[in-house]
Structure 1
Amino acid sequence: MNGTLRRLGGRDVVDGGAAVAVALLVGYAIVDPPGPSPSWPAWSAWPVAAVLSLPVALRRHRPWAMLVWACAAAVAATVAGAVAAGAIWLTFVPAVLVLYQVATTVSAVRSATAAAACASAATAAILVFYDRVLPGLAPAATPSEMPPYWPVEIGVTCVLLAVAWAVGAVVRWKRDTTARLVHHLAEAAVADERRRIARELHDVIGHSMSLIAVKATVANHVADARPQEVRAALAVIEQTSRSTLAEIHRVLGLLRSDGDLREAPLPVPGMADLPGLAVHARSAGVEVELTVREEGVPPAGVALSVYRIVQQALTNVVTHTGPTRCAVTVDVDGRAAAIEVVDDGPRHGRPPRADHAGHGGHAGPGGHGGHGLIGMRERARMYGGTFSAGPRPEGGFRVAARLPYDPDGTPA
């Protein structure tokens, strides 16, 4: 019994109740009509009302079939004289309710065609009733305040059908618009997530490959003279490549998934991972002095941006400056995160590498070149912050960013 009720569902129960209410209304109107009583037996009012109202209970399952049933039954009952003279429009109320359901499920053109067909059939049936059936009925025992009048019957019926179609069409339009909006928002969310993953890939690969390239260069130059240093460089390359491949596999696994990317979020590095960046840079020959001051815990998004900005800045130092001294300062005061990465420039007066303005590198005084600087500037702009990058007068290069935020984690 409980399984049957669950299968019926709440909407079926509501439709069944509506069908019973309409049947009672139509049956009572036939038994006590405002005009002459029909020539049919009084008991027939209730079976007729049940047949007319049954489509209301089944309209969600077979809307088109139920509309044909409701309209055909109302036309047949009207032409046969089994309806309430003066209230024939009640006979078409089930068709009105089913038409609303049709209008919410099919295109406006198709539902409008159905509404016009119902209105035409109802008009013809009412005219036949008043022309052939009504004159043969016995006059009402008492005069009615609403005597039978065919223009009123036709007008009320057509208005009800038009209103049902209009409301149903509007409901369908709103549903379609909402569905398109939800789909668009879902696609935008997935696209944003994929762009975020692309940025993560750029930062991870850029940092790791720079370190591997530096160590491989060192190993190649000292392979014969200092084999111990070669083994140390190869150990760093092995460790870095393994960790990088593991993270790339996780990211690519998300990109290949067909489901919601948010169901399997990418591990998010943060402030606690900054010492690891310093260790990697030191293994590449850069003397890193890391200073982190935290007066409050920054939100995860801010912490990730801080980590990526420091990572990219150190990658630029390793790739384009070479062995040098670098000071990294991160200051979080609960309202903003300030980052400063300053290097002393190439040692022994060695000029920067030839690819100095290349991919993600130090792009000259303006600091506008390279994907790395663009990515850092984008992360700062995302929080309404500031970013600057350029050479220092005394030598070296400076990267500075400030990311303001509200205590709840939203951009300030």
Structure 2
Amino acid sequence: MQWTGGRLGGRDVTDAAVAVAVALLIGYAIVDPPGPSSPWSAWSAWPVAAVLSLPIAVRRRRPRAMLAVACAAGAGVTVAGAVAAGAIWLTFVPTVLVLYLVAATASIAWSAAALAVCLSVAVTAILIFYAQVFPGLALAGAPSEMPAAWPIEIGTIGVLLTVAWALGTAVRWKRDTTARLVRHLADAAVIDERRRIARELHDVIGHSMSLIAVKATVANHVADSRPQEVRAALAVIEQTSRSTLTEIHRVLDLLRSDGDPRQDPVPAPGMADLPELAAHARSAGVEVELAVREEAALPAAVAMSVYRIVQQALTNVVTHAGPTRCAVTVDVDGREAVIEVVDDGSRHGRPPRPGHGGHGPNGGHGLIGMRERTKMYGGTFDAGPRPEGGFRVSARLPYAPDGTAA
């Protein structure tokens, strides 16, 4: 059972309601049994039923302990003769319900052992009841509604316990499989994002190295009036830049999947393209206020990362919160780029769709990509709902003058 702010959760209320229903069923069966009546007083049926059903209400707090309590209580009242002959299986219904939760949360080995123990205890208690208690009970005045026979009781309880264990085990297997799938998808998203980052870095570095190669080649051809060492140095620069460019192409081509199409080189997006991003978001119904303060020119790689973070943040706003109002602030001071994207939430009052920020610590794939880009520069990234409503994304990218991480 989980307490939140001093209040019971929805599952706790459901368990309490089920416990009350089972207690009423057990109490009614003891008061008006299908077979011979219990030698105990009629009023004792309700305290007995309450004790038997209590583990259901608190099973989520200590599932294993409550399973032991439920099984021991069922066996105890059975051996004591405070149960309904012909319907002893009702006494072990709380054990069945708690065993389901144990099987859904514990390991298969532990839950299977618990099933074996509970079944053994129930069988032993029923055999003792029919051997020592049942012969001394007064015969019912009317024909029995249910035959009072130990094989029927044991068979019913055995089926119920086995089915509860099987269902709980299936739920646990499905939950574990889903968790593994989620982790796999998150890892795949990180790998895909890193591959895309590598391609974009390929464009930036490839473009820069191409310029170096061209300038070095020109310098090499017009350097007749220069000393010979200058010509030799330019020749080394030309050769080094060309071999480096070839190596970059070779290594980064390994990051491409076999089915990825080859794309023609395109200019890398940067700070100058941010107004176009804002215009696209406005056309989708988001009122974007863009504020850019750039005291120093950003290196191409950093500018592209800033562009991609703002692009993904605006995409999330359009997809999950629009139409709404959004403020985008980019502050560049020569040492770091600080990005903040804040939206006011949906104007229609509907909650954000799944994916606006995602679930869990990593969030959706968009947040994973932004976090990975920030991590490249050793920066900090934060994203989450705002107390006053809406969502906030903040990233800080420290960098060196050459565009590498600071």
Unaligned runs of 5+ in 2: 227-267, 269-296, 311-360, 371-406
Identity of aligned residues (%): 68
Q: Distance in 1 between matches of 2:156 and 2:23?
A: 19
Structure 2: distance between partners of 1:69 and 1:264: 46
Task: State TM-score, norm by structure 2.
Answer: 0.56
Structure 2 Cα separation of the partners of residues 36 and 165 of structure 1: 31
- Within a 5 Å distance, the mapping from 1:57-136 to structure 2 comes to 57-136=57-136
Query: What is the distance in 2 between the residues matched to 1:106 and 1:141?
Result: 47
1:207-248: CA deviations, max 9, x gaps?
A: 12211342355457768979xxxxxxxxxxxxx995325347
Q: 1:243 aligns with which of 299, 309, 313?
A: 299
Q: Which amino acid aligns with 1:151?
A: P
Query: Which whole-Å CA distance do the structure 2 matches of 1:264 and 1:119 have between them?
Result: 48
> In the superposition, relative to structure 1, how do residues 190 and 93 fare at CA in structure 2: closer, same or farther (>3 Å)?
same
AA aligned to 1:25 is: L
CA distance in 1, matches of 2:32, 2:157: 20
**Which whole-Å CA distance do the structure 1 matches of 2:96 and 2:35 have between them?**
23
SS class of match (1:13):
helix
Contact 1:71 1:118 in 2 (8 A): yes
Contact 1:208/1:244 (<8 A) preserved? no
TM-aligned CA deviation for residue 264 of structure 1:
7.1
Tell me if structure 1 keeps the 8 A contact 2:190–2:369. Answer: no
Give the C-alpha shift of residue 33 in structure 1: 0.5
Shift of 1:109: 1.8
Who is 2:366 aligned against?
262
Contact 1:201 1:251 in 2 (8 A): no
Match of residue 8 from structure 2: 8
User: Aligned pair in 2 of structure 1 residues 265, 125: CA closer, same or farther (>3 Å)?
Assistant: closer
Matched residues, number: 248
| CA RMSD of superposed structures (Å) | 3.0
Tell me, in whole angstroms, the C-alpha distance in 2 between the residues paired with 1:221 and 1:259.
54
1:78 positional shift: 0.2
Distance 2:369 2:131 in 1: 74
Which letter maps to 2:37?
A: S
1:26 is matched by which residue type in structure 2?
I
- Which consecutive residues of structure 1, in runs of 5 or more, have no partner in the other structure? 227-239, 267-412
Instruction: Find the aligned partners of 1:22 and 1:142 in 2 and give their Cα distance.
Output: 26
With over 3 angstroms needed to count, the CA separation of the structure-2 counterparts of 1:58 and 1:208, relative to structure 1, is same
In structure 2, what is the equivalent of residue 200 of structure 1? 200
Is the 1:197–1:251 contact (alpha carbons within 8 Å) kept by the matching residues of 2?
no
Aligned to 2:17: 17
Q: Which residue of 1 aligns with 2:351?
A: none
What residue in structure 2 maps to residue 209 of structure 1? Answer: 209
Per-residue deviation, 1:177:
1.1
Structural mapping, 1:258-297, within 5 Å: 259=362, 262-263=366-367
Q: Could you tell me which amino acid in structure 1 is paired with residue 302 of structure 2?
A: A
Shift of 1:82: 0.6
C-alpha separation between the residues in 2 aligned to 1:149 and 1:60? 34
Partner of 1:160: 160
Partner of 1:307: none
Rate the CA distance shift 1:245–1:144 in 2: closer, same or farther, 3 A. Answer: closer
Change in CA separation of 1:259 and 1:94 when aligned onto 2, cut-off 3 Å: closer
Q: In the alignment, which residue of structure 2 is the partner of 1:180?
A: 180
Pairwise CA distance, 1:147: 2.9
Radius of gyration: which is bigger? Answer: 1
Closer/same/farther in 2, CA of residues 251 and 183 from structure 1, 3 Å limit = farther
